[in-house]
């Protein structure tokens, strides 16, 4: 299955919901303020999100108010505007030896699986990878990450359950430098219900890493569950307020009706989406392409 067909399949229910809402009003005569207000409500109902729905309908107002447009012409405008406010993913460049990723997100979002898939990708490209199990409060998380490390051929650093997460991160980066690793992925805890404690824990990890090298971590990557809709946006805002996120991974875009949340995340944060998870298999993490994603939402 090609990349576009994979994304299109993953967004099928979201696309059907959006097109179903639009078909009831688009192409039904001249574009009016009343029609645009109804369209905005329908886009929100289809889980595009409030901020993205406003931007999309505002663009349609500027270009089409008072004009008679077909449904396809309306979709073309929406698609163009959605693509405009999605940030282009940057081309990855190694910024250190090793390049350090600090991977954050709430429990259940798919951090561990994402790390395993990315470790396999980098290993397949010939890079030596280190994985650090810094979510030390969940034995299951450590064990799951170790399984992924073995599957991907990555080096692995863990401490005993309940150990200081910053110490795990520190030891992993030191070991990675000594062993000549190219990339380090540091898993972290995600107990958002105890937000202040979690943010301080992450801040401590960052402080400790910078004692090794002021440039660490090179990337602060947030993993979000695409199923959670508006909750994913709220999570992203909480993390982004405390840490300068450099990229997002949106997981579980595998046929649910919440794929439009990506638009609101992007319009709210202006942080590039780097990868999307389209399933559980190790090869089902694909690079984000905004044109293909937008077509997956607004193209029949």
Whether residue 209 is predicted with pLDDT greater than 90 in this model: the reply is yes
pLDDT at 284: 79
Q: Is 116 annotated as a binding residue?
A: no
DSSP secondary-structure letter at 88? Answer: P
| The predicted structure's pLDDT at residue 285 | 87
Residue 87 is predicted with a pLDDT of 85
> Residue 106 annotated as binding?
yes
| Distances, alpha carbon 186 to alpha carbons 13, 135, 220, in Å | 33, 9, 10
In angstroms, the CA 247 to CA 92 distance is 11
Q: Is 57 annotated as a binding residue?
A: no
The predicted structure's pLDDT at residue 3: 52
Q: Which residue has the higher pLDDT, 218 or 256?
A: 218
The fourth-level CATH superfamily of domain 99-298 is P-loop containing nucleotide triphosphate hydrolases (3.40.50.300)
- Do the annotations mark residue 105 as ligand-binding? yes
If you search the block for the tokens 């409030």, which residue do you land on? 50
Is residue 252 a known part of a binding site? yes
Residues 213-246: tens digit of each pLDDT: 999 999 999 998 877 767 777 888 888 888 889 9
Q: Is 87 annotated as a binding residue?
A: no
Is 110 one of the annotated binding-site residues?
yes
209 annotated as ligand-binding: no
Is 190 within any annotated ligand binding site? yes
Q: Is 175 annotated as a binding residue?
A: no
User: Is position 112 annotated in a ligand binding site?
Assistant: yes
State residue 190's pLDDT score: 84
Q: Is the dihedral of CA 216, 285, 93, 261 positive or negative?
A: negative
Q: Known binder of ligand: residue 111?
A: yes
Q: Is 109 annotated as contributing to ligand binding?
A: yes
pLDDT of 103 higher than 90 = yes
Element (H, E) at 279: none
Assess contact for 26 and 69: CB atoms under 8 A. yes
164: phi > 0 → left, psi -120 to 50 → alpha, else beta; which? beta
Query: What's the confidence (pLDDT) of residue 14?
Result: 81
Residue 19 or residue 202, greater confidence: 202
Domain regions of the chain by residue span: 3-85, 99-298
Per-residue model confidence as pLDDT tens digits over 111-154 = 999 999 999 999 999 999 999 999 998 888 899 999 999 999 99
Of 28 and 240, which is predicted with more confidence? 240
pLDDT in tens, 158-188: 999 989 999 999 999 999 999 999 999 999 9
Tokens representing residue 211 in the block:
């004692």
User: What confidence category does residue 1 fall into, taking pLDDT thresholds of 50, 70 and 90?
Assistant: very low
Phi, psi of 89 (to 5 degrees): -65, 130
Distances (CA, A) of 14 to 11, 46, 278, 293, 297: 5, 7, 14, 11, 7
CATH of domain 3-85: 1.20.120.140
């Amino acid at each position: 299955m090609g990349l576009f067909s994979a994304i299109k399949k993953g967004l099928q229910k979201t696309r059907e919901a959006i097109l179903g809402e639009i078909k009831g009003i688009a192409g039904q005569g001249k574009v009016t303020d009343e029609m645009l207000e109804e369209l905005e409500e329908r886009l929100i109902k289809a889980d595009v999100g409030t901020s993205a729905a406003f931007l999309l309908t505002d663009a349609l107002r500027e270009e089409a108010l008072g004009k008679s447009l077909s449904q396809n012409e309306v979709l073309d405008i929406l698609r163009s505007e959605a693509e405009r406010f999605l940030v282009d993913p940057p081309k990855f460049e190694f910024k250190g030896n090793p390049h350090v990723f600090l991977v954050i997100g709430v429990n259940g979002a798919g951090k561990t699986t994402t790390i395993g898939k990315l470790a396999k990708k980098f290993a397949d490209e010939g890079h030596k990878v280190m994985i650090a199990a810094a979510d030390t409060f969940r034995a299951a998380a450590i064990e799951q990450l170790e399984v992924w490390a073995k599957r991907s051929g990555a080096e692995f650093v863990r401490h005993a359950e309940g150990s200081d997460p910053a110490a795990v991160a520190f030891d992993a980066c030191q070991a990675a430098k000594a062993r000549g690793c190219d990339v380090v992925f540091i898993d972290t805890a995600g107990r958002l219900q105890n937000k202040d404690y979690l943010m301080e824990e992450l801040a401590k990890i960052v402080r400790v890493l910078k004692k090794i090298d002021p440039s660490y971590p090179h990337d602060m990557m947030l993993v979000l569950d695409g199923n959670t809709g508006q909750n994913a946006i709220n999570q992203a805002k909480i993390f982004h307020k405390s840490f300068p996120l450099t990229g997002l991974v949106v997981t579980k875009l595998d046929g649910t009706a919440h794929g439009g949340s990506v638009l609101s995340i992007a319009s709210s944060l202006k942080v590039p989406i780097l990868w999307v998870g389209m399933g559980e298999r190790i090869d089902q993490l694909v690079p984000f392409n905004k044109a293909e994603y937008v077509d997956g939402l607004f193209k029949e």
